[in-house]
């Protein structure tokens, strides 16, 4: 009998993906403008650091909130004591109003149908526990966020079956791809419990079209036992046209909400978080919105394993409850994201690199297929290693996102200063120019601070075959 459980010793967490391992290399040698100017620049982290000054300005103008005071009196003891896991009513109301504001108030949300969770990671896993059993499956369009291999599968035992999307139609979901994924699951004797989508997409940085959303709603409508989860954590980052359309808006347009004869409303669930739109991943604030009373009840009970602190809820209920601040923040944040995205696209263009046209998110889906030595995932991993070790940029290879075509990469732009992004583009441009020279040598683009250049560690070479196998499925 083993000393530890099978779960503790299994290797299905996904932490050995190149997506996460690139972070480890960054942490060993992080770029710093003064202390380590030749270090690795982190472009693999989708954080929004562009609007912290707006949040800090609000806090400075409302010191009683961060001091946990109300009407001049301390409420610290009240917040420090046990709170019911249903959450503070004031915060739930402020959160659903903020979600409606992001969607142009075209739809509204009932605070009684929202479940608070410790981030969207917890929200998505909780929904898996509510909607599927061990060995059941969810269909996910590719490319998708690498963390889903951990969030959806690791503890739940739920399987992911990819909906293979391709570049020829900008990676949009098609009916044929959806049906092929469903048939693949049936061939593997998997019970498909639903479809999970990210809208706006991570890693594509694009919003879903109405046609795609209607296709997915029609798909689950035809199958009475299937759910649709719409992860909308980037909904407030849409900075260009077309505008964001929530799946709830489509349900409303089609008269499929609760007062209709259809039960589709009962099988559509929305995940949200303040990690991306408000730039607060460290606050661990996520949510599930569902009109299914049974799901809300079960998810609320499960939320006791990952609660949002009362202090966090109190502070954010005041901040989001300031309607003028919330509206101005959303508008200004979008403008800043748009300017920064244009800076990245311009820098890539100067380096001879194009990317998928995007209108949302904190990243671009970048086409480096012309830089591959061959049209294989092995060549993609070799290119990725050069960019990490020689160019010293941590970016995410498409194979880690289960992209079916080698040569695509995700580059983040909102977690650094303009000067750092400019330096990253200069490094990349120099690398492309050297690659075009055809000398074939692994020479550092930026030099090294001391000693011999570190060779790629063993995990980098192991990843090539594993990620290629994932991409070939």
Burial 50-72 (b: 16+ CB within 10 A, else e): bbeebeeebeeeeeebeebeeee
User: Residue 365 belongs to what H/E stretch?
Assistant: strand 363-367
Distance between CA atoms of residues 363 and 274, nearest Å = 17
**Of 41, 102, 233, 330, which residue is the catalytic one?**
233
Instruction: State yes or no: is 145 an active-site residue.
Output: yes
**Of 92, 153, 193, 276, which residue is the catalytic one?**
276
Cα–Cα distances (Å) from 395 to 10, 15, 411, in that order, read 27, 16, 6
Distance between CA atoms of residues 246 and 269, nearest Å = 11
Peptide bond just before 143 cis, omega within 30 deg: yes
| C-beta of residue 262 within 8 angstroms of C-beta of residue 224 | no
Distance between CA atoms of residues 402 and 194, nearest Å = 19
The gap from C-alpha 216 to its chain's centroid, in whole angstroms, comes to 20
Instruction: State yes or no: is 217 an active-site residue.
Output: no
Residue whose entry in the numeric block shows the structure tokens 């301390």: 74
* DSSP tag of 211: H
Distance between CA atoms of residues 397 and 308, nearest Å = 33
Instruction: State yes or no: is 234 an active-site residue.
Output: no
Cα–Cα distances (Å) from 263 to 31, 136, 255, in that order, read 52, 22, 11
Distance between CA atoms of residues 164 and 166, nearest Å = 7
Question: What order do you get walking across the sheet with 396-397 strand by strand?
Answer: 354-355, 363-367, 408-412, 396-397
Rounded to whole angstroms, the maximal C-alpha distance in the chain is 71
Within 8 A by CB and 6+ apart from 26, the residues are: 40, 42, 44, 394
Instruction: State yes or no: is 276 an active-site residue.
Output: yes
**Of 26, 31, 144, 145, which residue is the catalytic one?**
145
Catalytic positions are 145, 231, 233, 276
């Amino acid at each position: 009998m083993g000393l530890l459980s099978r779960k503790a010793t299994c290797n299905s967490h996904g932490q050995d993906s190149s997506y996460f391992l690139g972070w480890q290399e960054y942490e060993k040698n992080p770029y710093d403008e003064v202390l380590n100017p030749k270090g690795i620049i982190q472009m693999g982290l989708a954080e929004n650091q562009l609007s912290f000054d707006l949040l800090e300005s609000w806090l400075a103008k409302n010191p009683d909130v961060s001091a946990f005071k109300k009407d001049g009196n301390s409420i610290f003891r009240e917040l420090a004591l046990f709170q019911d896991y249903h959450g503070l009513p004031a915060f739930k109301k402020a959160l659903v109003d903020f979600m409606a504001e992001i969607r142009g108030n075209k739809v509204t949300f009932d605070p009684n149908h929202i479940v608070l969770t410790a981030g969207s990671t917890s929200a998505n896993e909780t929904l898996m526990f509510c909607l599927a059993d061990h060995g059941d499956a969810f269909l996910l369009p590719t490319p998708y966020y690498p963390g889903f291999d951990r969030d959806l599968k690791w503890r739940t035992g739920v399987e992911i079956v990819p909906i293979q999307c391709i570049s020829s139609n900008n990676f949009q979901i098609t009916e044929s791809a959806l049906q092929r994924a469903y048939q693949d699951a049936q061939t593997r004797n998997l019970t498909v419990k639903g479809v999970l989508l990210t809208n706006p997409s991570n890693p594509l940085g694009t919003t879903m079209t109405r046609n795609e959303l209607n296709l997915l709603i029609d798909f689950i409508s035809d199958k009475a036992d299937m759910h649709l989860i719409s992860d909308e954590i980037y909904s407030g980052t849409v900075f260009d046209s077309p505008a964001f359309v929530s799946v709830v808006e489509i349900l409303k347009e089609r008269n499929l909400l609760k007062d209709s004869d259809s039960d589709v409303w009962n099988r559509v669930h929305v995940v949200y978080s303040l990690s991306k739109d408000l730039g607060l991943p460290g606050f661990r604030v996520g949510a599930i919105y569902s009109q299914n009373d049974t799901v809300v009840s079960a998810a609320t009970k499960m939320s006791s394993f990952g609660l949002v602190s009362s202090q966090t809820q109190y502070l954010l209920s005041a901040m989001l409850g300031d309607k003028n601040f919330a509206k101005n923040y959303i508008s200004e944040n979008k403008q800043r994201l748009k300017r920064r995205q244009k800076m990245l696209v311009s820098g890539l263009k100067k380096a001879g690199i194009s990317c998928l046209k995007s209108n949302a998110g904190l990243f671009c889906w970048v086409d480096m297929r012309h830089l591959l030595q061959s049209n294989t995932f092995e060549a993609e991993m070799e290119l990725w290693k050069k960019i990490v070790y020689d160019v010293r940029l941590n970016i995410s290879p498409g194979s880690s996102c289960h992209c079916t075509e080698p040569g695509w990469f995700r580059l983040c732009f909102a977690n650094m200063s303009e000067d750092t992004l400019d330096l990253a583009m200069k490094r990349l441009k120099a690398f492309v120019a050297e690659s075009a020279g055809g000398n074939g040598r692994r020479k550092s683009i930026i030099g090294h601070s001391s000693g011999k250049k570190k060779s790629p560690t063993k995990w980098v070479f192991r990843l090539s075959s594993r990620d290629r196998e994932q991409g070939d499925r």
